[in-house]
Structure 1
Amino acid sequence: MNKWLRKSLFVTISILTFGLVTPSQLINQANAEKINDRDVFETHAQDRSIVQANSYVIESEFNREEFMQELIKQAEIQSYQKFGTRIKPVIENDFREVILPNIEQAIEQTASQFPEDNVKNLTITEQPGAGLSEKIFNIKDSVSGKDIIRFHVRRDNPPQAGYWFNFHYHTYHDQFHSHHELGSIFWDKNTPPKWMS
């Protein structure tokens, strides 16, 4: 009877959650709830977290794809913070369609140059630059503390062409000298407000 009830519960939960919760997750959760707090030893590593009690171990390995998606999500958040409430509504759609995919590609290409064990050390640094500063965000190696790639946006005002936002990045390969273009977005004939305003 107990086995039949358990199997029925698993099937019902799987159907109700459309497979988002699997029976193995329920078993792990039920087992985890049985463990006493004093029997649990927690350690936190950069690439995984382990909860260990006697012979029971839960381990989540570093997932490169999830890590890269989180890094790109943080890049987007930093960019919108840089734009502020006055610039963001005007350029957000163009940024998302034109610039963001290029930022994603630049981050992916840069990360692909690092061994799997070192990718997890990449972090987005600092607040975006306000006022007239070009800095959007930097990605650095958290172990060495050195910048790997710097993302900037410059205000261009070519004669008779209005104001443009030129997005680009610099890499550590040439000590951040070369500009690698990500694209430009037209603002207006009028001077744009300062960043983060």
Structure 2
Amino acid sequence: MNKWLRKSLFVTISILTFGLVTPTQLMNQANANKITERDGVETAAPERNYVHSNNYVVESEFNREEFIQGLIKQAEIQSYQKFGTRIKPVIENEFREIILPNIERALEETATQFPESEVKNLTITEQPGAGLSEKIFNIKDSVSGKDILRFHVRRDNPPQEGYWFNFHYHTYHDQFHTHYELGSIYWAKNTPPKWMS
């Protein structure tokens, strides 16, 4: 339909109904009637996940492994965001080889402690800490809003050794007191730039 004709029709319908009925509502109602007439019976779809595959609609079930892999991918993205453009190129390879597998292990171990109905509620925070903050990301329960794991990176400067990035995490089991080591990456003798710079 031509644009000017469609616009004219919309304006006319709006004027005739004093704005109580919008053309969009009429179109939605007409489409619903067509579907009902064609299918014969209108049924409500259950609330489930569906995947379109080869022109067939297939119900998909919650996949714990895919969910955990999604969390791990988000954790990697959050980490690189924290490193910023100045730190990331220097430590990216070591982070991927040393630290990321340990983050993956920690996430998998934590996920096994929850039943499937609760694993679905685990989410990752969206903003890492900038400047001198240790926070990389937290894993939290989206229903209760409570943190489950907190992943941090601390700058260590042992005498005569230069700067190191110490990656670790804390867990809610001990009220986030104990450091669980993920590994360390050497920076240099020079002071590293601030996070996210």
Q: Bin the TM-score by the shorter chain.
A: 0.7 to 0.9
Check conservation: 2:78, 2:126, Cα contact below 8 A: no
The amino acid across from 2:185 in the alignment is I
Query: C-alpha distance in 2, partners of 1:150/1:37?
Result: 50
> Which has the larger Rg?
2
Check conservation: 1:42, 1:50, Cα contact below 8 A: no
Q: CA deviation at 1:88?
A: 0.2
The amino acid across from 1:62 in the alignment is F
Tell me: CA distance 1:69–1:40, structure 2 relative to 1, closer, same or farther (3 Å): farther
| Deviations 1:120-148, CA, capped at 9 Å, x for gaps | 11000130000000000000011111000
Name the counterpart of 1:138. Answer: 138
In structure 2, runs of 5+ residues without a counterpart are 1-33, 37-41
Name the counterpart of 1:160. Answer: 160
Q: CA deviation at 1:181?
A: 0.3
Check conservation: 2:129, 2:195, Cα contact below 8 A: yes
Matches within 5 A, 1:1-197: 48-49=48-49, 58-197=58-197
Deviating more after overlay: 184-193 vs 115-124 = 115-124
Name the counterpart of 1:19. Answer: none
Query: C-alpha distance in 2, partners of 1:68/1:157?
Result: 34
Structure 2 counterpart SS, 1:118: helix
Tell me: CA distance 1:128–1:160, structure 2 relative to 1, closer, same or farther (3 Å): same
Structure 2 counterpart SS, 1:82: helix
Structure 1 counterpart SS, 2:114: coil
Check conservation: 2:49, 2:59, Cα contact below 8 A: yes
Tell me: CA distance 1:162–1:117, structure 2 relative to 1, closer, same or farther (3 Å): same
Structure 1 counterpart SS, 2:161: coil
**TM-score, with normalisation over the residues of structure 1?**
0.74
Query: C-alpha distance in 1, partners of 2:43/2:189?
Result: 63
The amino acid across from 2:175 in the alignment is Q
Q: How large is the RMSD of aligned CA atoms in angstroms?
A: 2.0
Check conservation: 2:124, 2:138, Cα contact below 8 A: yes
Query: C-alpha distance in 2, partners of 1:157/1:106?
Result: 26
Number of equivalenced pairs: 155
Query: C-alpha distance in 1, partners of 2:115/2:132?
Result: 36
Check conservation: 2:138, 2:149, Cα contact below 8 A: yes
- Detail structure 1 runs of 4+ shifted over 6 Å in the superposition: none
Tell me: CA distance 1:57–1:89, structure 2 relative to 1, closer, same or farther (3 Å): closer
Query: C-alpha distance in 2, partners of 1:135/1:73?
Result: 17
Structure 2 counterpart SS, 1:136: strand
| Deviations 1:8-54, CA, capped at 9 Å, x for gaps | xxxxxxxxxxxxxxxxxxxxxxxxxxxx766685665xxx4259xxx
The amino acid across from 1:115 in the alignment is P
Q: CA deviation at 1:58?
A: 4.1
